[in-house]
Amino acid sequence: MPHIEKPISLELVGVTKVYPGVIALDNVSLNIRGGEVVGLIGENGAGKSTLMKVLGGTIAPDRGRIVIDGADIADLTPARAVELGIAFVHQELNPFGNLDVTANVLLGREIRKGRLGFLDGKAMEAKVSPLLEMLGTRFGPKDPVSALSLADQQLLEIARALSINVRLLILDEPTSSLTLSETQRLLDVIRRLRDDGVAILFITHRLGEVEEVADRVVGLRDGRSAGELAPAEINKDAMVRLMIGRDVSQFYETSGQAAGEIVLETRQLRTRTYPHEEVSLTLRGGEILGLAGLVGAGRSELARVLFGIDMPEAGTVEVLGETVPPGSVTEAIKAGICLVPEDRKSEGLFLDFSIAENISVPSLGSLSRHGFVDRDAELVLAKEARREFSIKAPKLERPAGELSGGNQQKIVLAKWLATRPKIIILDEPTRGIDVGAKAEVYHLMRLLAAQGAALLMISSDMEEVIGVSSRVMVMSRGRMTGVLQRHELSEENILRIAVE
């Protein structure tokens, strides 16, 4: 990465953006300069992504000025933003599945050769390869994007941002699906870019990362500037106060719940990803079983088999002693199993449907009369969920796609939990959720467990696994490598068996 010739100086002055019913940004001012990392924090719906979209030229503010290198930029377009060296990594990923990695990274900026302008594949690959190397990706420049996991897609987005002459890099929740080692590598890349004179605006709910990498922290609350923290003031408590204006007490409650009878049991279960490994697992009513492991350990694959999305290679799943017919989501739901998936966009949410419709989908059986959905009952259910999860949405009739990322995640949780299932599988349940809402989600999980539900929580967030689980199973390369009881839970103990 060459040293930046002309570091950016950017200033936002009194920026306001209004959506129907919501003031997403209310008179926000912010400045950032080349050579510094600014952490941008705030609750779900505080306006962080909106601010980023203003800087990237994808939405025009209703009021306010954008001043770059001393000049007022009246109508910033995405193309102009790229010219000015502004690159961003979106919170919601949108790769083009039918292209390979190189084509995705250089989409719209392909390198051509000759008079006919054919694509210069060699040159393109030569440009992309070093970026992938720097990020330490497991995939190569020629791999099809359709084969990439969520974490890989996130790294692809980052490679794309780095492929322009970047002077300001904006990262919106870049680590939400990354593991420990990938995250560390990204933080290293961020530090390196900063030392080269790039300005970095880092948006995340993982406050530990902000603590590690930010030179300055800016808080947003309900669309307004909530203040700043200087380097010496950056710590978790101060950040939480900046975001929500108070302390979050009782973040993790200890479980006083005695585990009940076995509700779910697998026998010689094998997934297609790891056809030679058997998974034997028991899940009891009233417990929250944490499922830890590194990415690629086979946890999501196991979840998909348990929920009937995928056919198992062999073996059975039993609920209360009865075998659940394999490979059928309908049968799994009938048996009382539900899955809150990791990838909300493709598996959890209908973005064009209203918020209320999304929440009611799995409950339609109980909400319908003579085949018609009782819209009033649907709205009552949705209102209850909005209160229970503090979902920030002015109107429940609006499309779910208009919600902020974290609020979309809350809808996915609400929709399944409204059915009060016996067995709840949660795959990374708090991805992209702010600290306050996290505490609410954990509280709700405990409540469901106390009511007798059995919860299986897949999580890469070590603090969460340790803080929430009554017991932890660790998986590595498709195999259960160990079980830890609550009093044995520590980061070292989990990591030790996770790498076996």
Ligand X SMILES: Nc1ncnc2c1ncn2[C@@H]1O[C@H](COP(=O)(O)OP(=O)(O)OP(=O)(O)O)[C@@H](O)[C@H]1O
- Indicate which of ligand X, Mg ion, none lies near residue 50 (CB less than 5 to 8 Å, by partner kind): ligand X
Measure the CA–CA gap between 75 and 65, rounded to whole angstroms. 10
Measure the CA–CA gap between 102 and 124, rounded to whole angstroms. 7
- Exactly one of 7, 8, 10, 50 binds ligand X (CB under 6 A); that residue is 50
User: DSSP label at 148?
Assistant: -
Mark out the alpha helices in 196-346 (DSSP H runs). Answer: 207-213, 236-244, 299-306, 329-334
Measure the CA–CA gap between 131 and 141, rounded to whole angstroms. 10
Contact set for Mg ion, span 90-149 (CB under 5 A): 91
- Exactly one of 7, 34, 39, 42 binds ligand X (CB under 6 A); that residue is 42
Q: Is 405 in the site for Mg ion (CB under 5 A)?
A: yes
Q: Is 286 in the site for Mg ion (CB under 5 A)?
A: no
From 111-119, 148-156, 405-413, 456-464, give the range in contact with ligand X by CB under 6 A. 405-413
Contact set for ligand X, span 67-106 (CB under 6 A): 91
Cβ neighbours of 238 (radius 10 Å): 16
Nearest approach, Cβ of 434 to ligand X (angstroms)?
Answer: 6
Q: What are phi and psi of 42, to 5 degrees?
A: 170, 160
From 43-51, 210-218, 291-299, 359-367, give the range in contact with ligand X by CB under 6 A. 43-51
- Exactly one of 406, 421, 429, 478 binds ligand X (CB under 6 A); that residue is 406
3-state secondary structure (DSSP) of residue 342: coil
Q: Within a 13 Å sphere around the CA of 337, how many CA atoms are in the beta-carbon half?
A: 30
- Indicate which of Mg ion, ligand X, none lies near residue 402 (CB less than 5 to 8 Å, by partner kind): ligand X
The helix or strand, by DSSP H or E, that contains position 343, with its residue range, turns out to be none
Q: Is 206 in the site for ligand X (CB under 6 A)?
A: no
Buried b (16+ CB within 10 A) or exposed e, 462-475: bebbbbbbbbbbbb
Q: By C-beta, is 404 or 430 nearer to Mg ion?
A: 404
Contact set for ligand X, span 10-39 (CB under 6 A): 19, 22, 24
Residues 204-243, one symbol each (x = binds Mg ion by CB under 5 A, - = not), give ----------------------------------------
Q: By C-beta, is 266 or 409 nearer to ligand X?
A: 409
Q: By C-beta, is 407 or 470 nearer to ligand X?
A: 407
Write the DSSP assignment of 26-70 as a string of letters: EEEEEEEETT-EEEEE--TTSSHHHHHHHHTTSS--SEEEEEETT
Q: Is 404 in the site for ligand X (CB under 6 A)?
A: yes
One-letter amino acid of 287: E
Q: Residue 276: which residues within 8 A CB-CB, separation 6 or more? A: 270, 478
Contact set for ligand X, span 225-264 (CB under 6 A): none
Contact set for ligand X, span 409-468 (CB under 6 A): 434
Nearest approach, Cβ of 36 to ligand X (angstroms)?
Answer: 21
Q: Is 382 in the site for ligand X (CB under 6 A)?
A: no
**For binding to ligand X (CB under 6 A), which residues are involved?**
19, 22, 24, 42, 44-50, 91, 392, 402-407, 434
